Amino acid sequence: MDNTAYKNRLNAYISHLEQDEKSRATIAQYRRDIICFFEYLGSAELTKEAVLAYKRQLELKYMPVSVNAELSALNSFFPLQAEPILSLSF
């Protein structure tokens, strides 16, 4: 996904969270989590395998509760992008 498309999707998602009256802290954390994922992804194709690889990387670094928090952000982001197949189990 090119940088402009990613930024547009992220901004639309943040607007969605604001309309859903999510807390500022939640919005800030979800923004950081999604940015981290797309930085990890780089120019690679957005696939289920790429998301699973990211999950495995997180599992090596963090406790399960932290991994689940990051996955929660992605799991709420992907369906709004018409990418529900990319959602992961906790």
What pLDDT was estimated at residue 8? 87
pLDDT along the chain (90 residues), means of 10: 75 94 95 93 87 94 93 86 57
CA atoms within a 13 Å half-sphere pointing along the CA-CB vector of 75: 12
What pLDDT was estimated at residue 85? 53
Among the listed residues 44, 56, 54, the one whose alpha carbon sits nearest the alpha carbon of residue 74: 54
What pLDDT was estimated at residue 52? 92
What pLDDT was estimated at residue 13? 93
